[in-house]
Amino acid sequence: MAMASSIKMRNSADNMDVVAQDQSFADCIAEGSHFEGATLTRVTFTDCDLYWASFFMAELTDVTFERCDLRGSDFKEAKMRNCRFLSCDVGDDALGGKT
């Protein structure tokens, strides 16, 4: 049974320090959203636009990103356990290499 979501899935949403589990998001637009310090457990993002989203220092456990736009997304210092990135667009870095 899925819990009610406390994540705001829209452009530049502030989801700092949010705690969410057993959630699924599909076809959402969350460009530039902030998930800094968030704790996400068993969360699935499918066909989501997370361009320039920040997961800085987030804790991601059993999180799946499927066919998501993750170009420019920040996962610095994130703790990731059993996470999957399936057919996602990660784009190129500033030097033209894959991120």
Domains and CATH numbers, the chain: 19-86 (2.160.20.80)
22-66 pLDDT, tens digit each: 999 999 998 889 999 999 999 999 999 999 999 999 999 999 999
Q: Give CA 34 to chain center in angstroms.
A: 9
Give pLDDT, residue 1: 41
Task: Tell me: pLDDT of 10 over 80.
Answer: no
Tokens of 47: 């066909």
The whole-number average pLDDT for the span 6-21 is 76
CB 70 within 8 A of CB 47: no
